[in-house]
Structure 1
Amino acid sequence: MSTFIIAEAGVNHNGDRHLAKQLIDIAADAGADAVKFQTFQADRVVSRHAPKAEYQTQTTDKTESQLDMVRKLELSISDHEVLINHAQTRGIQFLSTPFDLPSLQLLTQQFGLKTIKIPSGEITNAPFLLEISQSAQNIILSTGMSTLAEVEAALGVLAFGFISPMDKRPQRGGFEQAFASEAGQQQLRDRVTLLHCTTEYPAPFAEVNLRAMDTLASAFGLPVGYSDHTPGIHISLAAVARGAKIIEKHFTSDRTLPGPDHQASLEPHELNQLVQQIHEIEQSLGDGIKRPTASEWKNRDIARKSLVAAQVIALGEVFTEENLTCKRPGIGCSPFSYWQTLGHIAAKPYPIDEPLDV
């Protein structure tokens, strides 16, 4: 199964529809499977008192509030329509992360998106998780900043939404029961992918903890991928080699553009490399059966060795450690026969380097 590659445009369009279309083109040209944006109404998501994250103060105006910054990054309904149509034209799946209920409804009801990506910051937003579970066919859940217990609690809400009637009153005990039920577990297996993530921009390599991907897969039995915020592409490649089913990576048209996420994003040529090298890794993983490949068969005789005469051996001479050795090519008697050949009598003369035929 191929790794599903999400090129995360996020808010790197800077509120400019034309730049957003350019990002779709970059993702499509690179061969990504999906391009993902963010859908939100700033006043529903960020309070007037919310501070910026440390990395945002370093990449944007320090005197500007988080709310003012986010307002400039909204995409309108008409923007969404244009971008979804453009993605369809370019043959790439359009995804977006909603951050509020009207945005979720816009994506799932008006535009018919089947897959919803839940960001790490919403993993404890139980009412929103429930709405998503009742609206989306498939869910990708990022788990940055989370403990295993918090991931389980979020999955309980999703399971409850999957299997319960819409009018059933949500409660913590019901979430736990839904998570523990076979019906809930089956729905989770069919519809949810978890993404390991380190929520920092850029994420320090020492805090990546890729082995947590294995922990998530073992704990929940769900497909697991990786949302990568580290510099470069090599950690994403390592995640693919460890079995990531999805890779999500931020990209931009130009890392020097103003805005909160550009500096921690790939540029177009790097996105191209990421997609190409992921596919090369997929090819290299193989089926796990240890056997000579088609290319190796033609090299076996050249690279392996045979028993040969280390010196001239006369007819009737005894084979000894002094007159036998192992040299290429491997077209004669196997070196595994060395010990059983010692002490035998040569049935014919052998010049130096001639393979034995005993």
Structure 2
Amino acid sequence: MIQIANRTISLATEPFVIAEMSGNHNNSLERALEIVDAAAETGAHALKIQTYTAETITIRSDRPEFRIEDEGSLWSGRTLFNLYEEACLPWDWHKAIFDRCAEHGMIGFSTPFDDTAVAHLESLNVPCYKIASFEIVDLPLIRLVARTGKPMIMSTGMADIGEIHQAVQTARSNGCGQIILLKCTSSYPAMPGDSNILTIPHLRELFETEVGISDHTMGTGVSVAAVALGATVIEKHFTLDRAAGGVDSKFSLEPDEFKRLVEDSAQAHASLGRIQYGQLANEKTSKLHRRSLYVVEDVEEGTIASSSNIRSIRPGNGLEPAYWDLIIGRKFAKDVKAGYPLSIDHFF
């Protein structure tokens, strides 16, 4: 069980659903605040931003290794500096965004990318931290965040088991006892077939943490399916309108879609229930639709039970059909009118 602000995260509670703003603010504080308002209206439990600058995450360079060459990428042809310069959210907006979250009763927090970001977020007293999938190998950053003593959410991305183990051990050995691991596919957008959400229960078993998903696929199906595998946290990119553009807009959910995600994930969680067999209280009236043994013509005491005077029909108020072989050929001990459910005391 994890506690983040007033929210308990466990298998016993509805999934904790995080709306990720990322670069969808489009360099407008007004739009950023509108995103907060819209996220709250969807029922999102938290809104997350990212804390970095282009200068703190890379350098200005046109060398090939600083350029995104993947033709399948949304950001193909751009330099890292150019991309992050557009996507970064000004640090002096953080307080206004977190304050707006608080007004809605929604948890606001961020992903830091270096020590200066952690210091800034600590000055704003964030309730938890998120480690991005690309930063899971940045053990000094994880160590610094762990020493705040606050819950830590980590996306696994491309990390292998050894790298995840190092990250978890670094966090634990530096004072972080509340860790959530998110299965994440580090492609944008990700294909459902690459999600491999069967990893989610394996992460829980291996590392004894809460687990969830950071989902970059289009739509909500993968996230909802993850709930059935024990995901207690769902993180999904959120935008007001994909058509408005933005570095992450193409794989972000719009408000009506995000609202459906919140509702469907809650329903998926409720449907898990427990291991159960037999009749539920709500199924009591459904007994009408079961078959049972009924007397279908008037019989007198001493009449032999046969297929002409007994049938297996609906409703299910008589003896179960399993008694058929036991009853056929026996004598009735009393007169019975047609339409009465058969019982064992009708026979000698």
TM-score scaled by length of structure 1:
0.85
TM-score scaled by length of structure 2:
0.87
Deviations 1:147-188 (A, max 9, x none): 1111101112112222xxxxxxxxxxxxxxxxxxxxxxxx5x
Q: Which of residues 20, 33, 39 is equivalent to 2:45?
A: 33
Q: Which of residues 223, 246, 249 is equivalent to 1:262?
A: 249
Q: Which of residues 345, 350, 354 is equivalent to 2:331?
A: 345
Percent of aligned pairs sharing the same letter = 31
* Equivalent position SS for 2:81: helix
* Equivalent position SS for 1:256: helix
Deviations 1:13-41 (A, max 9, x none): 12211111011011100011100111102
Letter in 2 for 1:86: R
For 1:9, the equivalent position in structure 2 comes to: 21
The gaps in structure 2 that reach 5 residues or longer are 1-12
For 1:307, the equivalent position in structure 2 comes to: 293
Contact 2:73-2:188 at 8 Å conserved across structures: no
TM-superposed CA distance for 1:323, in Å, is 4.4
User: Are residues 1:119 and 2:106 paired?
Assistant: no
TM-superposed CA distance for 1:119, in Å, is 0.6
TM-superposed CA distance for 1:307, in Å, is 0.9
Q: Which of residues 267, 272, 275 is equivalent to 2:259?
A: 272
Which of the pair is proportionally richer in helix? 1
Letter in 2 for 1:146: A
Q: Which of residues 131, 145, 149 is equivalent to 2:158?
A: 145
Q: Which of residues 326, 336, 341 is equivalent to 2:322?
A: 336
Contact 1:5-1:34 at 8 Å conserved across structures: yes
User: Are residues 1:246 and 2:262 paired?
Assistant: no
Contact 2:69-2:77 at 8 Å conserved across structures: no
Looking at structure 2, the residues matched to 221 and 259 of structure 1 have their Cα atoms a distance apart, in angstroms, of 37
Looking at structure 1, the residues matched to 78 and 171 of structure 2 have their Cα atoms a distance apart, in angstroms, of 36
User: Are residues 1:68 and 2:55 paired?
Assistant: no
* Equivalent position SS for 1:72: helix
Compared CA separation, residues 64 and 204, structure 1 to 2 (3 A): closer
TM-superposed CA distance for 1:52, in Å, is 2.6
User: Are residues 1:83 and 2:97 paired?
Assistant: yes
Looking at structure 2, the residues matched to 297 and 253 of structure 1 have their Cα atoms a distance apart, in angstroms, of 46
Looking at structure 1, the residues matched to 47 and 79 of structure 2 have their Cα atoms a distance apart, in angstroms, of 28
Contact 1:113-1:136 at 8 Å conserved across structures: no
Contact 2:127-2:150 at 8 Å conserved across structures: yes
Q: Which of residues 54, 63, 67 is equivalent to 1:42?
A: 54
For 1:173, the equivalent position in structure 2 comes to: none
For 1:54, the equivalent position in structure 2 comes to: 70
Letter in 1 for 2:54: A
